[in-house]
Structure 1
Amino acid sequence: MRDGEAVHHPDPGTRVPSPTPRPFPPAGASSIIAGMRRETVALYAGTIAAYSDMYLTQPVLPVISREFGVGPARAGLTVSFVVLGIAAASTFYGPLSDALGRRRVMAGATGLLSLATLACAFAPSFPALLGLRALQGVLVPGMTAVSVAYAGDRFRAADLPRVVAGIIAASVVGGLVGRTVSGAITAHRGWRASFVAFAVLTALAAVTLARGLSAAAAPERGGWIAAYRGMLRHLRAPRLVGAYLVGCCLFFGWIGIFTYLPYHLSGPPWHLGTGAVSAVYLVYAAGVLASPIAGRLAGRIPPPTLIAAGLVVEALGMAATLVPGLPFVVTGLVVLVLGTFTAQAIAPAFVNMTAREAKGGASALYLTFYYVGGTLGAWLPGHAWRAAGWKGVVAVCGGAVLLALAADLGLCARGEGS
């Protein structure tokens, strides 16, 4: 019998509705575990692909600068246009997934993202590349803005921090793959070949999402207008607003540091090549460790406390990159990554657990603030670089992290009733 069919009783004239479909088929614990694994693998694959596509130009900005004859701040727009597209579109996908279902939105958007990524490989000019990067950004939140809400639908509250931490770890892997692999491909085949490779990766992820996720993952089907109203009501909740500000400022500092890092490392006194610069992004691997650990600690330590600890560590890592010597820079970046992903592993789950309704909209608002911060972080530190070099970049990004800490302690840490 399929879901939604009538159940026949011995009396041939009697028909009653079937029971509400359960999240997993009632075939025993082994089927439930297999279903959970299939879904988490799909979520992680889609997350890796989306974040790889976002960041694949970051380590090759000097190459793009040379090919199109643009300066560092303009080349950095290939990152900020993606982030701007994500910020603009995130509030669209949250309510859409609340109304239509999360699997359909995630798989469809990821499939279209693969086509946009492929199109970037054939961009004839810098403005065309920016336009296509913006299109990628519009499609990315179809995956990233919905994944945490999907997890909230499908997993127990006790398991949610661990699952969300896994999604954040997958985002770290995606950022790492995008930066390191694109740098390696660019060094041997050119930057256009990297877009082709990641288009294939994204298409495979779309298939995995379509086959691996459950169709019955959207409990809220109250219509488009109702979904938007539910989302906007979150802006009246101080604890949620605090989390949104944390995401905004945290990502500003993060993306500012890593966007202008290639200029710092490729200039004096190190003069590193593209391959060596992309290898430095291996520090991202520290985030794969930090995120699951933070997820496990979330059951014992209040989320705002963990977020604050992560922000403090992030700021210390930024400061360490100012110490002369490449080993100190790399060590500072590792510390920065550990702190950032401690905070980022907790904040989205905090939003999902704090929101009482329209959870897709709540997650979408977090992503909107997060990527607004990233848009500014990919642009404003470029002017700080021009004015004061790496010290200027660190000062601006460190200031943003301190603002995030103030929002966390002042708003997120407030009591439930405030």
Structure 2
Amino acid sequence: MRQEHKYTIKDYYFWKITLILAFASFFVFASTYVVQPLLPLFVQEFDVMVSESTLVLSMTIVGLIMGLIILGFLSDRVGRTFFIKFSLIGSVIPFFLIPLSDSFYLIVLLRFIQGFALAGLPAASLAYLNEEIDRRSVGVATALYISSNAIGGMAGRVVTGYLTDHYSWQTAFYVFAGIGVFISVLVFLFLPKSRFFEASRLPFKKDMEGMVFHLKNPAILVIIGIGVVLQFSFTSIWTYLPFHLESEPFSLSMEAISYTFLAYGLGVIGAPLAGWLAGKLNLKKVRIAGIIVLSMGAFITFSQSLIVIVIGLCVLCLGFFTAHSLTATSVTEHATHHKGSASSLYLVAYYVGVTLGSSAVGPIWNTAGWNGVVLLAGLLPLVYLVFVHVMQSRRSERVV
């Protein structure tokens, strides 16, 4: 009976909820990746190594992973809107504090705290959408929410590069603090209260049992592995790209480097295109095609031509968002129970890939430079595909 009262795409409140959460998601992803174009600058300004500079991104993701697990469990018990609001406030405050710090490792600590706070939105918002919006309309709301992720990640990088080149990185942080305050006000004033939230009364032990249940499922393990590998390769390219393009023979400014992140715009195209192709063809085949396209894009960036590198980055983004969107879709298909914890596991795997792709690739960059990073990023997804194919052939079970 309550299902009939959930908002549909024709309702004013459907658009109110969807647009407010899209704005919030935009800010969260912009905040997460705002430091990526600044890594070469931190090396110079704080006299740290390249691998150390990547900690401002990887430790943010470590905080995010911890937050997804802890805040995800708590949102099932306390409520959705509280954690959505907490996420925004907690992520805005570090933007005011970080520019005041002259210690690199204090900045890393503040970014870790910011990452934990940022997790509140993804931990609660998708559940909120599914609870408040009719199942026939929730797909549209979710697609807009995910598209804003890609736009936010792109804008965070591009705007930061531009503002830093023309003013300072501190100015960029204050600008994002202001944006965060504005969006927080919108959320506090206009985000409707939960009407269909029902607090979970299960002990945390049951949630953990759900996680363990999925880790015993070979199909879920393959999907989790894909999540790690995809994000590892994708992040490693984008993390070390600024270092590559600021050096000879390119010698690009930070503003010019930041414009390469506009390739993320293909993510807005890639995700819905992947869904359409999967419906027409076969999800498994389209996902494999996306992974191969990602590797092709990585290999194209071997070039010494800036134009060709940009083309490679566009191909990389198209392949990544195609494969990622379909892999995320596959999680709940293969999870027979505890579908929520299965989605959480995939998100954790996704962000583990971000952490490894940023800081763990440092030794490769130090010893083999850009070519080493590209070779690893391009080969790893292909090697994983072959490995899964061989293992599944032995078990006569095809998942990928």
In the comparison of the two structures, how many residue pairs are matched? 393
Instruction: Report 1:88-237 matches (<5 A).
Output: 88-154=66-132, 162-210=140-188, 211-216=190-195, 218-219=197-198, 221-225=200-204, 226-237=206-217
Normalized per residue, the structure richer in helix is 2
- Sort the Cα spacing of 1:244 and 1:218 in 2 relative to 1 into closer, same or farther, 3 A: farther
Q: Which of these residues, 40, 45, 49, is aligned with residue 71 of structure 1?
A: 49
Residues of 2 paired with 1:310 and 1:335: CA distance? 10
Q: Which of these residues, 251, 256, 267, is aligned with residue 287 of structure 1?
A: 267
CA contact (8 A) 1:102 1:146 kept: yes
Calculate the TM-score normalised by the size of structure 1: 0.85
Shift of residue 364, structure 1, vs aligned partner: 2.0
Q: Which residue of 1 aligns with 2:17?
A: 39
Shift of residue 21, structure 1, vs aligned partner: 7.5
CA contact (8 A) 1:103 1:217 kept: no
- Structure 2 residue identity aligned to 1:145: A
Residues of 1 paired with 2:353 and 2:375: CA distance? 16
Q: Secondary structure at the match of 2:171?
A: helix
Residues of 1 paired with 2:55 and 2:386: CA distance? 29
Compute the RMSD of aligned alpha carbons.
2.7
Q: Which of these residues, 237, 246, 264, is aligned with residue 226 of structure 2?
A: 246
Q: Which residue of 2 aligns with 1:7?
A: none
1:364 paired with 2:364, answer: no
CA contact (8 A) 2:236 2:377 kept: yes
Residues of 2 paired with 1:356 and 1:42: CA distance? 32
**Which of 1 and 2 has greater Rg?**
1
- Structure 2 residue identity aligned to 1:114: V
Residues of 2 paired with 1:170 and 1:148: CA distance? 13
Task: Structure 2: state its 5+ residue gaps.
Answer: none
Structure 1 residue ranges, 4+ long, deviating more than 6 angstroms after superposition: none
CA contact (8 A) 1:310 1:339 kept: yes
Q: Secondary structure at the match of 2:11?
A: helix
Task: Structure 1: state its 5+ residue gaps.
Answer: 1-18
Shift of residue 230, structure 1, vs aligned partner: 2.9
Q: Secondary structure at the match of 2:361?
A: helix
Residues of 1 paired with 2:199 and 2:152: CA distance? 30
Q: Which of these residues, 40, 61, 68, is aligned with residue 83 of structure 1?
A: 61
CA contact (8 A) 2:291 2:319 kept: yes
Residues of 2 paired with 1:217 and 1:344: CA distance? 30
- Sort the Cα spacing of 1:251 and 1:98 in 2 relative to 1 into closer, same or farther, 3 A: same
Shift of residue 271, structure 1, vs aligned partner: 0.5
- Structure 1 residue identity aligned to 2:257: V
Q: Deviations over 1:274-295 (max 9, x none)?
A: 1111111111111122122223
Shift of residue 165, structure 1, vs aligned partner: 3.7
Q: Which residue of 2 aligns with 1:9?
A: none
Q: Deviations over 1:218-267 (max 9, x none)?
A: 45623342334334432233332222211111111111100000011011
- Sort the Cα spacing of 1:164 and 1:340 in 2 relative to 1 into closer, same or farther, 3 A: farther
- Sort the Cα spacing of 1:254 and 1:268 in 2 relative to 1 into closer, same or farther, 3 A: same
Shift of residue 41, structure 1, vs aligned partner: 1.2
Residues of 1 paired with 2:113 and 2:388: CA distance? 32
- Sort the Cα spacing of 1:337 and 1:203 in 2 relative to 1 into closer, same or farther, 3 A: same
**Higher mean Cα deviation, 102-111 or 215-224?**
215-224
Q: Which residue of 2 aligns with 1:24?
A: 6
Residues of 2 paired with 1:106 and 1:79: CA distance? 22
Q: Secondary structure at the match of 1:271?
A: coil
Q: Deviations over 1:134-165 (max 9, x none)?
A: 11111222112343444444556666655444
- By relative contact order (CA 8 Å, sep 6+), the higher-ranking structure is 1
1:52 paired with 2:34, answer: no
